[in-house]
Amino acid sequence: MSIFLDFDGTITAKDTVGDLANFALRVRAAEGEDLKKAWDEVVARYVDDHSAHVHGYRPSSDDRYLPDQEIDYLRRMKHVETRSLGRINDCRLFRGISAAAFRDAGRDLVADGTIKLRPGFQRFVRDRIAQGWRVWVLSVNWSAAFIAGACGELPGVEVIANEVREDGAVAGPDVLNPLGTDNKSPEPRNLTNSRDKLDAMEAVLSVEGLAGKPSVYFGDSTTDLECLLVVGRGFVVSDREDSSLLKTLRRIGKDVPHIRDQNATGKLAWTSNYEDIPDDKFALN
C-alpha cells in the first residue's frame, strides 16, 4: 500500500520555490555576491517561455476535453522547464550550498512560520505509516534535502525530487537516472513535469514490488495530473473549488467532489487539509 504526496502547495500551504531561492540569495549575499538581478532574469524568462507555450499550443485549453489532449499539452511543456533549469545552473545561485544547509533551511523556515504545513499533515502521515502504508514525497522542487527538512524528516517518509550538486547544478533523482546494462547512465533527466512524476512513481512501485497494489496520490497542480489519473485513489489539495487543477480535471470529464460531500466515494476528491480525511474516505476497495 503506497502513498505519494506532492510537496509545494500539497504538503505546504503555498509554493516554496521563492522561499528556497531567497534562502540561496541570502547565502550568496553573505558571501558578498548579489545575484538578485540575475535571479529575477531567470524568473522573467521562465514566465515568458511558459506564456508562449500556453498561448501557442493547439488545441487551446477551451478546446481540450479529453485526458490525452491535456497530457500531451503538459508533456510538451518539458522544454520550458529544461530551459529554465539550464538558466538556473548557469546562474549558479545554489553553488556551494550543502545538502545539510538546504535541510536546515527547510526546517528553519517552517519553524519561523515562513513555510506553513497544511493542517493535519504530519499526524496523517504518522497514522498511515502505523497502519503499514509506505509513504513517498514526489516533487519537482529543486532540493530533496530542503523538502526533507521542511517535512520534519518524518521517519518512514522518503523524498523523491531533484537535488543540488556541489557545483550548484540541479540534478534529477536516481530513480529517473538508472544505470544501463553497461553501467552508464543515459542522458541526465530532471524531475520537472507530469510525465516525469508518473515515470518516477511507477519506477518506485516496480522496484519496491508494489505495482498493482493499492496506491494513493495527493497533488495540487497540473504536474500531478497524470499520477492522479492512474492511482486507485486521488486527492486534490486546494483552498478553493476553482483551482487550476480542479478546473482542468473537470474540463476533461473527471468528477472531483469535496471530501465532505456524501457523494465523495469515487476515485477523486478534493480537500484543503489532512484533517478532513477519515479512514472511510481513504479506504481503497
Q: What pLDDT is stored for residue 282 in this prediction?
A: 60
What pLDDT is recorded for position 182?
60
Spans of all domains in the chain: 2-282
Q: What angle do CA 48, 7, 157 make, to 5 degrees?
A: 150
Is the distance from CB of 24 to CB of 97 less than 8 angstroms?
yes
- Residue 246 φ/ψ, nearest 5 degrees: -65, -40
Q: What local confidence, expressed as pLDDT, does residue 1 receive? A: 87
Taking only the tens of pLDDT, the chain with its 285 residues reads: 899 999 999 999 999 999 999 999 999 999 999 999 999 999 999 999 999 999 999 999 999 999 999 999 999 999 999 999 999 999 999 999 999 999 999 999 999 999 999 999 999 999 999 999 999 999 999 999 999 999 998 999 999 999 999 899 999 999 999 876 666 656 789 999 999 999 999 999 999 999 999 999 999 999 999 999 999 999 999 999 999 999 999 999 999 999 988 776 789 999 999 999 877 656 655
CA count, 13 A, side-chain hemisphere, 11: 30
Q: Provide the grid cell at 134.
A: 509506505
pLDDT given for residue 187 in this prediction: 78
pLDDT at position 105, please? 98
Distance, CA of 12 to CA of 162 (rounded, Å): 18
pTM over 0.85: yes
Confidence (pLDDT) at 266: 83
Q: Which residues are 218's β-sheet partners?
A: 5, 235
Q: Supply φ then ψ for residue 283, to 5 degrees.
A: -60, 145
- CATH code, 2-282: 3.40.50.1000
